[in-house]
Amino acid sequence: MTYARLVPQLARLAILLIVVTFVLGPLTVAVFGGFKTNGELLASPFGLPSHWNTEFYSALLNDPGFWKYLGNSLIISLSTVVLTLIVAAAAAYVFAQIRFFGSRMMMSYLLAGLVFPFATAILPLFIKVRDFGLLDSYWAVILPQTAFGLSLSILLFKTFFEQLPKELFEAAYVEGCGYIRFFWRFTLPLSTPILATVGVFAFVQSWNNFLLPLVVINSRDLFTWPLGMMQFRGEFLVEWNRVLAFITLTILPAVVFFVAAQKYIVAGLTGGAVKG
């Protein structure tokens, strides 16, 4: 009896560990690779470094260009989060709280962004951004990226707002509280979980975005870290250890952030997925 139960349990554990190796293997190779000399990297790409050389990591940490890339990404991501939260929550509040002629139609219009790939309109978007004179600026990334994230954000907000107790609004309305004031005073403060979810989502999307900055940003001063990383890769074509150190330093904050915020990420994912 115990034997018959033990075998499937061991098989399950074995499968899970194989998948863990598959997932973490490349990541640990990258982390350790940044400590190895190129010679050692060539001879033994996996395994612990025989000597922990910190020079490749410290060279990056002392490079103002590296911090510039991270700073640009941070400014763009935070601006995107703020703009997304304000604009999407406001629109979702109107759809959830107010009935008016054309509301369903406008909502379907705003949700249409859920279905098609960002890349379909990338060329005209480039032209548009250029014609607005925004090319090679933070706004060239912030505005389109916020606009494309609106559909999902509005959907998440609207679903949440609709679950807030209706009696609250009735009471406030009788007391003479208008719609806009109610939004600021009650809806937003009661919605911190969904604000966190949408905010974390918008942040991760923006932090990782590559195609949009690639198309609308030219000068190195404004490079986000993914652009900087590709540039770095081009310059150190044969020095994989430096490139791996660069990758490690950029994904470490992402991993820390992920572990801290995973609750919200998963909530947004499953909320959006199940209701979408």
Partner 1 sequence: MTSAASIHNRKSRSIFADLMSSKGQAVLLLLPPALLLFTLFVALPLFDAAYYSLFKWNGYGTPTDFVGLDNFRQVLNHGIFWESVRNTLIVLAVSLFIQLPLALGLALMIYEKTPANTLFRLVFFLPYILAEIASGLIWSFVFDGNSGVASAIFKSLGMDPVFILADRHWAFLAITLVVVWKYFGFHMMIFVAALQSVPKELLEAARLEGAKRWEVVRFVQVPLIGAAIGVSAFFAVVGSLQLFDVVIPLTNGGPSNSTHTIVTYLYSFGLTRNRIGFGSAVGVLLFLAAVGVSIFYQYQTNRRSK
Report the alpha-carbon distance of residue 209 to residue 202 in Å, rounded.
10
Q: How far is the CB of 272 from partner 1 (least distance, A)?
A: 9
Nearer to partner 1, 59 or 180 (CB): 180
State how far the Cα of 96 lies from the Cα of 154, in Å rounded to an integer: 10
Distance CA 173, CA 196 (A): 27
Complex with partner 1: residue 75 or 183, whichever CB lies closer: 183
Residue 137 Cβ vs partner 1, minimum distance, rounded to whole Å? 14
CB of 197 to partner 1, least distance (A): 14
- What are φ and ψ of residue 178, in 5° steps? -80, 175
Question: What Cα–Cα distance (Å) separates residue 128 from each residue in 58, 132, 241, 256?
Answer: 41, 6, 40, 37
- Whichever of 44 and 192 has its CB closer to partner 1, that residue is 44
Least distance CB 163 / partner 1 (angstroms): 12
Closest CA to 161 of 205, 97, 99, 107: 97
Tell me whether residue 218 or residue 270 sits nearer to partner 1 (CB atom): 270
Our CB check for partner 1 shows the closer of 143 and 195 to be 143
Whose tokens are 């090679």? That residue is 136
CA–CA dist 162, 154 (Å, integer): 12
Q: Min. distance of Cβ 54 from partner 1 in angstroms?
A: 20
Burial class (CB in 10 A: 0-12, 13-18, 19+), 191: buried
* Complex with partner 1: residue 54 or 262, whichever CB lies closer: 262
Q: C-beta of 62: minimal distance to partner 1 in Å?
A: 21
